[in-house]
Amino acid sequence: MFAYYLDLALRSLKRNKVLTALMVIAIAVGIGASMTTLTVMHLLSGDPLPGKSGTLFYPQVDPDPSPKATHLPYDMMDYRSALDLWSAHRADRQAMVTSSQLRLTAPQVNLPPLMVQMLSTTSDFFPMFDVPFRYGSSWTAQDDQNRTRVAVISSNLNDKLFNGANSVGRTLRLKDTDVRIIGVLAPWRPSPQFYDVTGGRFSNGDTASFYSKPEDVFLPLQSSLEINAGGFQPFTCWSMPDDPVHLQNSTCVWVALWVQLDSAAKVDSYRRFVADYAAQQKALGRFGHADNTQLRSLMAWLDFNQVVPSDVRLQTWLAFAFLLICLFNTVGLLLAKFLRRAGEIGVRRALGASRAMVFAQCLVEAGLIGLLGGAGGLLLTLLGLRLVRSQPIEYADLVHLDTTMFLATFALAIAASLLAGVLPALRASRMAPSLQLKTL
């Protein structure tokens, strides 16, 4: 029966080519606009580490001894607190993270000095976040302790300096210090840059920095503090630091700590550990707010920081409102189309077709229009995504149509056309056959 309905639908669409084209275009334009913005939303709000994000947590304490208007801790930690928690080794893995800029040159490479972003971290960073390597490997925990002058560089920097060749063993000069390359990352573009997401709710909707590319140089934290002394910027300070060059003992927060906890029991234990640490520091007079502690999972931390740009959210709502307008137009066109076939429908009813059969036939025709509109919407979505990639925005290179959104394009188009076809199909199925036969 479905094949028969499909054949009738094809014949009907061919008889009214202009009306068919108008309906297909209406569906295609609505789907193209909505799927373009929905794809961007999907890519920016997805899980950056599927299957592992549930084991990654972001602890927070509040070292500010002064009264505060908010009960929330700062987004980052002071160096002493981060080092104390990291040194306790209460997690399966833990990584301290901070970033800075510095000057880089490569001996025997004919390029002028570069200003690059450097991530200062500890050895667990790479296995914790499943960072892929093209050549070599990361440093060890012993390198952290020994302040070894080694570096891991990004794929982009390796291509720029060494034309993509294996550069392990080569030397870089960072400011005035030589470091040895021990690893080169494979292309790596986490979305968002989850390990350095801070201050999103204070950024007035400007979350572009969350989608910037990863740093070009990765160094052991202790080594980088010596190499780039004075190059680190605090996230915020609750009083003027005595030594703005060396922030390790300052009244500033500027270091993040990530921990990996592989079971619910370990999560509860670590949460108690952080609370006990804060209470201990308050007893020592260093903390003023022992109850201001948090331990959020990776996804909870991203949600808390509102990492999806506000303009993307607004565009998504506007696009779906536009799709709704297109559906209303499609309802009117389908209604006109089915009412023009009143005589044909009356003959079918007189020959024994039930209302349900007429209703099903009309819905099959609406679904076929949706399928054609989905094909047109797919082309418009690809065009829309191409326009997004050409924009000067940080996340432009992340935008692409994956398999999920490819299937969602057709699913949404067919669902939208079926929804638009319900009222016209119901109206057509309820027409009295006797009245229509009299007019023939």
pTM of the model: 0.77
Distance, C-alpha 333 to centroid of its chain = 38
Confidence at residue 142, expressed as pLDDT on a 0 to 100 scale = 95
Give the HSE-up count for residue 36: Cα atoms under 13 Å, Cβ half-sphere: 25
With H, G, I as helix, E, B as strand and everything else as coil, classify residue 99.
strand
Q: How far apart are CA 164 and CA 277, in angstroms?
A: 46
Confidence at residue 440, expressed as pLDDT on a 0 to 100 scale = 47
Confidence at residue 434, expressed as pLDDT on a 0 to 100 scale = 52
Tens digit of each residue's pLDDT (9 = 90 or more) over 126-146: 999 999 999 999 999 999 999
Q: How far apart are CA 101 and CA 271, in angstroms?
A: 33
Confidence at residue 14, expressed as pLDDT on a 0 to 100 scale = 80
Confidence at residue 69, expressed as pLDDT on a 0 to 100 scale = 58
264-283 and 79-88 are packed helices; what angle lies between their axes, rounded to 10 degrees?
Answer: 130
The pair of three-digit structure tokens given for residue 18, joined into one six-digit string: 């202009």
Confidence at residue 346, expressed as pLDDT on a 0 to 100 scale = 65
The pair of three-digit structure tokens given for residue 243, joined into one six-digit string: 């030594």
Confidence at residue 206, expressed as pLDDT on a 0 to 100 scale = 45
Distances (CA, A) of 330 to 6, 85, 178, 324, 428: 19, 61, 67, 10, 15
Q: What is the pLDDT along the chain (440 residues), one digit of tens a residue?
A: 778 777 767 777 788 788 888 888 988 999 998 898 888 887 777 788 888 999 999 999 988 877 665 678 888 999 999 999 999 999 999 999 999 999 999 988 888 999 999 999 999 999 999 999 999 999 999 999 999 999 999 999 999 999 999 999 999 999 999 999 999 999 998 877 888 765 444 444 444 456 678 899 999 999 999 999 888 988 888 887 777 777 888 888 999 999 999 999 999 999 999 999 999 998 888 888 788 899 999 999 988 887 776 667 777 888 888 888 888 888 888 888 777 766 666 666 666 677 788 788 888 888 888 889 889 999 999 998 988 888 877 777 778 888 888 888 888 888 888 888 888 888 777 766 555 445 54
Largest CA distance in the chain: 97
